[in-house]
Chain A
């Protein structure tokens, strides 16, 4: 079981998984993930539920608390009656986990400051006959507000063991684990869980009233009412951040900070990765100079391919860092609330905001982030338009094309044009969603109802873990596809005429060139030739491969003393059709930019989309629609510009 993660050696011979699975469950914002981090430390791995892409994590508890226990984390849920895909997966993980079966023991996580509300789920767990240990989080906030909790009284009332947890310091995790160990050491009969049918309105009411009475009994005041506590602080912050005017101003400021960080923080790192791989490639080419084909393969295909995967890591990492920081601080819930209305007009949801924002890093984790949306249609539309957000792979393409258009102007123009493209992708996404919203009719009731958690200082550990898991989904899902396709593109542009001395000769007689010439009639209206066609096809590996392929087809390989881009730009200026007219003109480059803004050219994304949509039908529809629209708009732009005299 779970090969990569082994509980540390020799303490006990018994497989911790054989003791049964401990399932962590709780409402969203109950502090579940933080607790999971305390329990497992680094001894965990993110997993997908088989058959779906709901992300979860599983791991083993540290042996400092006795024999290791096998723990799974699940998405947040308010009740055992799921209302979204993600909640469904959480409930399934209790009753019948797709790989691990029913849970042996449940750690129910509840925020002690919202005791009566969060115990509602606990009540349902008890009714369903689960063996439950209760972890009450945020005890530090309760004490800060001059109150405390009578643990013995609560344990007696509920008939289960209770631990008070401070997620910031880890206090209370010891006690929780000794309860867990005690429960696991008890004899265990085959579970007879009773999956409940829905609760009546009356039953709900009685439960909530009872729980409120219970809360009043166990939570007591200790000392004076403090001048301020987390809730009051949050309210004061919200007077500004949720203000009708200032709220929007700060929203724009925060988002601008996140986006500009792509440039001031990520760009230097991306340059570093770029030049490191460039150096590595030329070293490989030099040291294998005696065998030209091999040196070309290692230098340009293997090292180049790896480089094109890794160059985006800084940008993806930094964008997700910003997003996770805002999520953990509590601001993201506010941001989602602020723009829920405008988004709902387009058939989306406030909860679409994080997926769309993530789409600017990489569409793959972004699509998966849409799973918190309960309405099928809103989730569908979100996944549909995520690829329209300008993901990091488009950046090198825009950088190249914009520097062609804006040659000799100040860097400010480039930045402005890029900002325009980024905003433009939002507008295109909005239009696409609005149109699709008109076409798709459902009578389903969509929901927003978002809890606004109190503001808290985010914990670095928790954030880093989330960022790493999202970055990982890019590397794991997109990496291999990009790498293999770039090897393939290299082969297609090298063979069959690989022995030719002159690289141009080699390429013009390659398979890639043949395919490019085949599709040339389609490309003609876009104002480009077969060589750009080869670039566009190769961009299906990953968009940025367009740049490196152009470099190959226009022969920027050996003599690149200066940057690749400078020599490529020079080649692009000189490139002509057989009749001598220039290929790269203002019109054709604008057309290419438009094409890249809209086209879905990422095989890895299509694979993830299929799972998120739940069918090939919609994944392929998305693929065809986005590419067709991209092509048509590019053609219209090129021909339109020519019509008004801009070639």
Chain B
């Protein structure tokens, strides 16, 4: 789909602004409450042994499941 890719596909070290959301509304709304809003620069800090993604947003690290990272289009 489109030019936008999801955060799930991004490697450690990726840095870029959040373009849009997709997926379940509940997940989107919690992500926003955590500070994931459009235009915010996200950075992939790494991933856990079982492929959860560690993202930093506004200086805080948050661990996301792959399907949660998939909600974030970058």
Contacts and interface: CB of A to CB of B under 8 A. Distances in A.
Given A78-B30, A83-B26, A452 B65 contact: no
Given A205-B38, A449-B31, A117 B58 contact: yes
Contact of B50 (A208, A235, A338): A338
Contacts of A344: 65
A337 B34 contact: no
A259 to B, nearest CB: 21
Nearest to A215: B58
Given A198-B29, A242-B48, A338-B49, A451 B68 contact: no
B74 interface: no
B2 interface: no
Nearest to A145: B59
A205 B39 contact: yes
Given A208-B40, A247-B48, A449 B24 contact: no
A337 B49 CA distance: 9
A523 B71 CA distance: 55
Name the residue among B26, B35, B57, B64 with the largest chain A CB count within 10 angstroms: B35
B21 to A, nearest CB: 8
Contact of B62 (A205, A231, A450): A450
Contacts of A14: none
B68 to A, nearest CB: 6
Given A344-B65, A449-B31, A113 B49 contact: no
B45 interface: yes
Contacts of A438: none
Contacts of A198: 29
Contacts of A448: 52, 63-65, 68
A242 B54 contact: yes
B11 interface: no
Main secondary structure of the interface of A (DSSP, over half): helix
A233 B6 CA distance: 29
Interface string A394-425: 00000000000000000000000000000000
B50 A116 contact: no
Contacts of B59: 113-114, 231
Contact of B35 (A201, A208, A339, A341): A208
A227 interface: no
A81 interface: yes
Given A78-B30, A113-B59, A445-B24, 19 more contacts: A81-B33, A114-B58, A116-B58, A117-B34, A117-B57, A117-B60, A198-B29, A204-B33, A205-B32, A208-B40, A209-B39, A238-B45, A242-B48, A242-B54, A247-B48, A337-B54, A341-B65, A447-B27, A450-B63
27 contacts: A78-B33, A114-B60, A117-B60, A120-B33, A198-B29, A204-B32, A205-B32, A205-B37, A205-B38, A205-B39, A212-B58, A238-B46, A245-B49, A338-B48, A338-B50, A340-B63, A340-B65, A341-B50, A342-B50, A445-B24, A445-B27, A447-B68, A449-B62, A451-B62, A452-B54, A452-B61, A452-B63
Interface of A: 78-79, 81, 83, 113-114, 116-117, 120, 198, 201, 204-205, 208-209, 212, 231, 235, 238, 242, 244-245, 247-248, 333, 337-342, 344, 350, 445, 447-452
